[in-house]
Amino acid sequence: MDLLAQYLMNGVMLGLMYALVALGFTLFFGVLNVIQFAHGDVLTAGAFAGLAGYALVVRAGVQASLPQLLTVVLAATLSMAVLGAVLGRTLVLPLKGAPALNVLLATLMGGTALRECIRLFYPGGSQPQRFPALLPSTAWALGRFTLRLDNLLMLAAGMALVLGVSLLLQRTRTGLAIRAVAQDEETARTMGIDFRRVVLFTFALGSALAAFAGVMNGLYYNEVNFGSGLLLGVIGFSAAVVGGLGSLSGAVLGGFLFAGLQTLGAVVMPFASAYKDVFAFGMVILLLAWKPTGLIGEPLGERV
Amino acid sequence: MTPAPLLVCADLTRSFGGLVALDGLSVELKQGEILGLIGPNGSGKTTFFNVLTGLYPATRGEVRFGGLTLTGARPQAVYRAGITRTFQRSRLCLELSIFDNLAVGAHQQLDHGLYFNLLRRRALARQADATATAARELLEIFDPPLAARLFEPVAGIAMIGRRRVEICRALISRPKLLLLDEPSAGMTADETAHLMDDLLEVRRRFGDLSIILIEHEMSVIARVTDRCVVLNYGKKLCEGTYAEVSTNTEVRQAYLGLA
Amino acid sequence: MTAARARVRSALATLVLAVPCTLLLYGFLAAESEGKVALVLAGATLAAALGWRTGLLGWAVRASGQGGLALGFALSGLALVAAFHEDPFVLLLLARALIALVACLGLHVQLADAGVPNFAGAAFFGVGGYTAAVLGKGALPHAVVLLACGALAAAVGSVLLLPLLRTRGHYAALITIAFGLLFRTFFEVNESLGGPQGLKLGGLEVLGFHFNDDRHVLGLEWSGYAFYALAALALALAALSLVRRLERSWLGLALDAVRLDETAAACFGVEVARWKIGAFTLGNALIGVAGGLSAMMVGFIAPNNFTFQESLVLVSILLLGGLGNLAGLAVATLIVVCLPEKLQPIQEYRYLLFSVLVVLVLVLRPAGLVRRTARRSFGSAAA
Ligand SMILES: Nc1ncnc2c1ncn2[C@@H]1O[C@H](COP(=O)(O)OP(=O)(O)OP(=O)(O)O)[C@@H](O)[C@H]1O
Ligand SMILES: [Mg+2]
């Protein structure tokens, strides 16, 4: 029972991270019908940007963990918002209308460049980096299961963020513009919506979400690695696909579905924990084969 | 006793979500007949072709062709049974040559064995020659200047030429039934008239070719079709010779927009 | 009379093409400093530009014909191996480039012909390598082992067939990406095949001939890598000729039809799934054989050799060479494999520089570096 609670907590945390990444994929796909495969590496870059921000404020003599935490989160999300918009502007928008393979390869290579930059230029970037524990370490022992305050805080923040994004899309003018572009680019343009601005804003938003997931990932595992975004990116994308690309609730659902399956795998086969990534990738393949157009989205046959 | 019809479609239905694009259509076609298929935009003409050729599975209904049952058949099986088509929006492979496009149409006649293709290069070259000859013959009928440009990419050919190439691609396998989806779209009246002459010429040479023709130009329908079927909202409105349907009041209301 | 003249013309054209290429390659491989490498590269660019502008290049390619080009490729390779007979570093580099070419040809059949993406090239290369490592120790003749490398890579690939046939575009690409990552993680955690440390291999041995040994032949001292380079050359020639023939036949046409318009192809009887399966399988087999030979030559394999990066490099080579262009593919493979080795200072940065280069090409020349040309006739007039 206690162990199960531990698994459950872990699964929910994973699910939230996947959901945040999937949200980005689904947003990009919504406005531009492209897949931005550098997204996973944006997540890593976000975590490292947060780490750099942390190093700076520590050097400036800030000791309290709350300002440190704020710096980390802001450095990560803001810099990735900018980077996301830049990637959208330089990699994705110019390739609008090019063969799908080109966009795919361009973003994959963009991601490689990011990854390599971290590995080569971040001090010690080729080795896993310790991520500081910035959240209160209060914990309550409930039998053998320890409920940790930091996990709860992260959960709350992540959920709030997801909620915030959905409110933004449903309730604000910007959200309306994004939805209009997602629905029909041409019509949105003729209605006077600045297409480029909407696209770039969406890229900034999605990338900031990924950066937040990167910080969460760092705080949760106390470690970041230049290659860790690859796995999260692939799973996040698959989660978005399974939930139906373009659908927000689908992305969140897909994220939790993946985490759930992964946790289930860990519960059923605790002896194979070394194989958990193998299992995750295998699941990506199986789920895509099973529901190539997602669980919710209706199959879109080609019009002849 | 009349001979059995070549094509029998019974109660053919196809819906997209709530939209019934083709609604219980029953049509028969005699061998050698040219049937006109007319109806306003969105009345389900193209959908009929797509269902017939197996691209969209029918929601309901049956198709029989010759002695075969083609209900639910895959596009490949429909082709092998002797039905070929053109597409409303031209679907040639633009980066391939005219010859290659026509050779795709002749898929059935070509030998796709590994041994033949990789090692019997002489025999392969002879088969390619024979295919080129067949391609030239057809092009000579429809667009003689293109016969000299056989190995040029289709991308470099004007739209009108592409439509003709597409018809040749559908004809090179010597089908029993040819489905033409607005072949004259974008052509002038003269060009359309030529195209129709050429089609009649091909039918004369091939002997027993049957055609279903989707066409908006009524003078064309009047001139070349033996019989017409009028569709409206996926349903058959009426059927008969052009003279008959064009005087039908329902048709005039629905289609010609005349009261 | 005319046949004889055509033959002379073809031979002449082959020489015009092969001699400068061989000399430039020689200069490139022999260059010992970065400056000299840059000089040779500048020379090559100049020569290519000149040949292009004057039309000489086009003429030579056309006039050589298929046989001429293959012959030129073979002779050029032989000459280079002979020239560097004692230099294991250059020979290894040459062999690696040729083996990479075979792998790229496999990808070419999949992606450029059938339009099936494969972002797990390195993984299939790895399947070949591990097969060679496991089977090479046994009693099987190594020629059979190499075939088994291809067969196993194809068999492993068949696991992906169903998912690949049910998806398209990005989704299909993602499946192969996931597979490539899965492969690497699996071999890292699975201790029975060496884990992260990998496996050692003995060298290739065919009919009692040990490829690893240096020997004295024709009055010269040959490095063992010379024999590997020759084997790689033979394999590359065979693969090139196979792919050429495939493309200039009804098979290549059917693949084109599948790639360009599945719907229209289906309406003309083309069994789309069958062709995709065939192309994917053949491609993986080629990649697997290449991986097997490479592993035997290097004598060591580890999961780290088969990363996602490497898969991306393979796909990028295809793109840089101009998707669908075999000559471009050969040139691009050579440059991408050899250049970082010759420019040691950029070794560490090669993935970074390479990825930036590919992005630039994609953004600035979306249609690819070299435009694809329509297939010419393979009727008897052209033969
Ligand atoms: N793949 C599809 N998915 C959803 N709806 C479709 C699809 N194909 C056709 N429809 C709808 O079915 C109806 C019939 O379309 P169809 O293309 O058959 O008309 P048509 O008679 O060929 O018209 P036109 O003269 O404009 O070519 C239309 O309302 C169309 O929007
Ligand atoms: Mg239509």
User: Which CATH architecture group holds A2-119+147-302?
Assistant: Orthogonal Bundle (1.10)
For residue B30, the surrounding DSSP H or E stretch is none
CB distance A59 to ligand 1 below 6 Å: no
Q: What is the mean pLDDT of chain A?
A: 86
Q: Kindly report the backbone phi and psi dihedral angles of residue B44, in degrees, each rounded to the nearest multiple of 5, phi listed first.
A: 105, 15
Give the span between the Cα atoms of C30 and C48, in whole angstroms.
20
B2: confidence class by pLDDT, cuts 50, 70, 90 = low
CA distance B89 to chain C (A): 11
Dist. CA B41 → ligand 1 center (Å): 8
B26: confidence class by pLDDT, cuts 50, 70, 90 = very high
Question: How many CA atoms lie within 13 Å of B135's alpha carbon, on the beta-carbon side?
Answer: 29
Can you state the percent helix, strand and coil of chain B, rounding each to 5? 45, 25, 35
Give the span between the Cα atoms of A296 and A22, in whole angstroms.
15
Q: Which two tokens stand for residue A10?
A: 């872990």
The answer, yes or no, to whether residue A7 has pLDDT greater than 50, is yes
Dist. CA B232 → ligand 1 center (Å): 12
The answer, yes or no, to whether residue C255 has pLDDT greater than 60, is yes
Tokens 């910007």, residue?
A174
Q: Which two tokens stand for residue C138?
A: 């046994």
Q: Which residue has the higher pLDDT, A302 or C324?
A: C324
Q: Which residue has the higher pLDDT, B26 or C1?
A: B26
Cross-chain Cβ contact C256/B93 below 8 Å: yes
Q: Which two tokens stand for residue B176?
A: 């029993």
Confirm whether B88 is domain-assigned: no
Give the span between the Cα atoms of A248 and B100, in whole angstroms.
45
The amino acid at C216? H
Confirm whether B194 is domain-assigned: yes
The answer, yes or no, to whether residue A8 has pLDDT greater than 80, is yes
Q: Are A168 and A174 in contact (CB under 8 A)?
A: yes
Pick from C251, C256, C377: CB nearest B112: C251
**Whose C-alpha lies nearest to ligand 1, atom 7?**
A303
Give the span between the Cα atoms of C356 and C358, in whole angstroms.
5
Lowest mean pLDDT across A23-27, A88-92, A134-138, C231-235? A134-138
Q: Is A238 an 8 Å CB contact of chain C?
A: yes
Q: End of a domain among B158, B185, B202? A: B158
**Amino acid C383: pLDDT:** 47
Residues of C in contact with B94 (CB under 8 A): 260
Pick from B84, B104, B118: CB nearest C245: B118
Q: How many helices and strands, by DSSP H and E, does chain A display?
A: 11, 4
Q: What is the end-to-end Cα distance of chain C in Å, rounded?
A: 17
Q: Are B242 and B53 in contact (CB under 8 A)?
A: no
**Amino acid C16: pLDDT:** 82
Dist. CA B181 → ligand 2 center (Å): 7
**Amino acid A298: pLDDT:** 46
The answer, yes or no, to whether residue C85 has pLDDT greater than 70, is yes
Q: What is the mean pLDDT of residues A285-298?
A: 72
Give the span between the Cα atoms of B4 and B6, in whole angstroms.
7
- Nearest ligand 1 atom, CA A302: 1
Domain of B103 in residue numbering reads as 93-158
Same domain, B103 and B126: yes
Q: What is the ipTM of this complex?
A: 0.92
Q: Is A112 an 8 Å CB contact of chain C?
A: yes
CB distance B31 to ligand 1 below 6 Å: no
Residues of B in contact with A304 (CB under 8 A): 46, 50, 55-56, 87
Cross-chain Cβ contact B96/C261 below 8 Å: no
Any idea which ligand is nearest the CA of B25?
A: 1
Cross-chain Cβ contact C380/B111 below 8 Å: no
Any idea which ligand is nearest the CA of B20?
A: 1
Q: What is the mean pLDDT of chain C?
A: 86
CB distance B86 to ligand 1 below 6 Å: no
Any idea which ligand is nearest the CA of B229?
A: 1
Q: Is B56 an 8 Å CB contact of chain A?
A: yes
CA distance B49 to chain C (A): 11
Residues of A in contact with B56 (CB under 8 A): 301, 304
**Amino acid A299: pLDDT:** 45
Dist. CA B47 → ligand 1 center (Å): 6
CB distance B42 to ligand 1 below 6 Å: yes
Give the span between the Cα atoms of C271 and C252, in whole angstroms.
14
Q: How many residues does chain C have?
A: 383
Q: Which residues contact C349 (CB under 8 A, 6 or more apart)?
A: A116, A120
Q: Which two tokens stand for residue C243?
A: 């792919």
Q: What is the bridge-based pairing of β-strands A145-148 and A139-142? A: antiparallel
Give the span between the Cα atoms of A97 and C72, in whole angstroms.
40
Same domain, B180 and B150: no
Give the span between the Cα atoms of A279 and A271, in whole angstroms.
13
**Amino acid B259: pLDDT:** 43
Site to probe by mutation for ligand 1, drawn from A298, A300, A302, A303 as the one with most ligand atoms within 8 Å of Cβ, is A303
The amino acid at B149? R
Residues of C in contact with A100 (CB under 8 A): 169-170
Closest-CA residue of C relative to B130 is C379
- Helical residues (DSSP H) of C31-87, grouped into ranges: 34-54, 56-83
Neighbours of C303 (CB within 10 A): 23
Give the span between the Cα atoms of C64 and C70, in whole angstroms.
9
Q: Is C358 an 8 Å CB contact of chain A?
A: yes
Lowest mean pLDDT across A105-119, A124-138, A215-229, B240-254? B240-254
Q: Chains near B, with 3+ CB pairs < 8 A?
A: A, C
CA distance B223 to chain C (A): 29
Q: What is the mean pLDDT of residues B114-126?
A: 90
Give the span between the Cα atoms of C351 and A172, in whole angstroms.
42
Q: Are C286 and C109 in contact (CB under 8 A)?
A: yes
Q: What is the mean pLDDT of residues C220-240?
A: 85
Which CATH number covers residue B229? 3.40.50.300
The amino acid at B172? I
CB distance B41 to ligand 1 below 6 Å: yes
Residue A140 bridge partners (DSSP): A147
Helix or strand or coil: residue A125?
coil
Buried b (16+ CB within 10 A) or exposed e, C141-179: ebeebbbbbbbbbbbbbeebbbbbbbbbebbbbbbbbbb
Q: Which residues contact B18 (CB under 8 A, 6 or more apart)?
A: none
Give the span between the Cα atoms of C379 and C377, in whole angstroms.
5
Q: Please identify among residues 135-164 of chain B the ones whose CB lies closer than 8 Å to any CB of chain C.
A: 150-153
- Provide DSSP, C241-254: HHHHHHHTSHHHHH
The amino acid at B208? D
Q: Kindly report the backbone phi and psi dihedral angles of residue A34, in degrees, each rounded to the nearest multiple of 5, phi listed first.
A: -125, 160
CB distance A303 to ligand 1 below 6 Å: yes
Site to probe by mutation for ligand 1, drawn from B16, B22, B181, B231 as the one with most ligand atoms within 8 Å of Cβ, is B16
Cα separations in angstroms, B198 against A239, B90, B195: 55, 19, 5
**Whose C-alpha lies nearest to ligand 1, atom 11?**
B21
CA distance B43 to chain C (A): 22
Cross-chain Cβ contact C378/B151 below 8 Å: no
Site to probe by mutation for ligand 1, drawn from B15, B22, B47 as the one with most ligand atoms within 8 Å of Cβ, is B47
Any idea which ligand is nearest the CA of B51?
A: 1
DSSP letter assigned to residue B35: E
CB distance B43 to ligand 1 below 6 Å: yes
Give the span between the Cα atoms of A113 and A117, in whole angstroms.
6
pLDDT digits 0-9 by tens, A153-174: 888 999 999 999 989 888 888 8
Q: Are A228 and A277 in contact (CB under 8 A)?
A: no
A302: confidence class by pLDDT, cuts 50, 70, 90 = low
The answer, yes or no, to whether residue A151 has pLDDT greater than 50, is yes
Cross-chain Cβ contact C178/A35 below 8 Å: no
Q: Is A126 an 8 Å CB contact of chain C?
A: no
Site to probe by mutation for ligand 1, drawn from B45, B50, B59, B235 as the one with most ligand atoms within 8 Å of Cβ, is B45
Domain extents in chain C: 1-83, 87-310
Sign of the C-alpha dihedral computed for residues B244, B247, B249 and B252 taken in this order: positive
Q: Chains near C, with 3+ CB pairs < 8 A?
A: A, B
Q: Are B30 and B210 in contact (CB under 8 A)?
A: yes
CB distance B16 to ligand 1 below 6 Å: yes
Closest-CA residue of A relative to C357 is A109
Cross-chain Cβ contact C268/B105 below 8 Å: yes
CB distance B153 to ligand 1 below 6 Å: no
Closest-CA residue of A relative to B54 is A304
**Amino acid C295: pLDDT:** 92
pLDDT digits 0-9 by tens, A79-136: 999 999 999 998 888 888 788 788 888 999 999 999 999 999 988 888 888 888 888 8
Q: Is B105 an 8 Å CB contact of chain C?
A: yes
Q: What is the bridge-based pairing of β-strands B177-181 and C220-222? A: unpaired
The answer, yes or no, to whether residue B1 has pLDDT greater than 60, is no
Q: What is the bridge-based pairing of β-strands C205-206 and C209-210? A: antiparallel
Give the span between the Cα atoms of C331 and C46, in whole angstroms.
15
Neighbours of C382 (CB within 10 A): 14
pLDDT digits 0-9 by tens, A50-70: 999 999 988 888 788 888 889
Cross-chain Cβ contact B50/A301 below 8 Å: no
Q: What is the bridge-based pairing of β-strands B34-38 and B210-214? A: parallel
Q: Which residues contact C217 (CB under 8 A, 6 or more apart)?
A: none
Q: Are A119 and A125 in contact (CB under 8 A)?
A: yes
Percent of chain B, pLDDT > 70?
97
C320: confidence class by pLDDT, cuts 50, 70, 90 = confident
pLDDT digits 0-9 by tens, C65-74: 777 788 888 8
Short-list C369, C354, C360, C331, CA closest to C104: C331
- Nearest ligand 1 atom, CA A303: 1
Q: Which two tokens stand for residue C269?
A: 């009887």
Tokens 């009345």, residue?
B43
Q: Are A205 and A172 in contact (CB under 8 A)?
A: no
Q: Kindly report the backbone phi and psi dihedral angles of residue A26, in degrees, each rounded to the nearest multiple of 5, phi listed first.
A: -70, -35
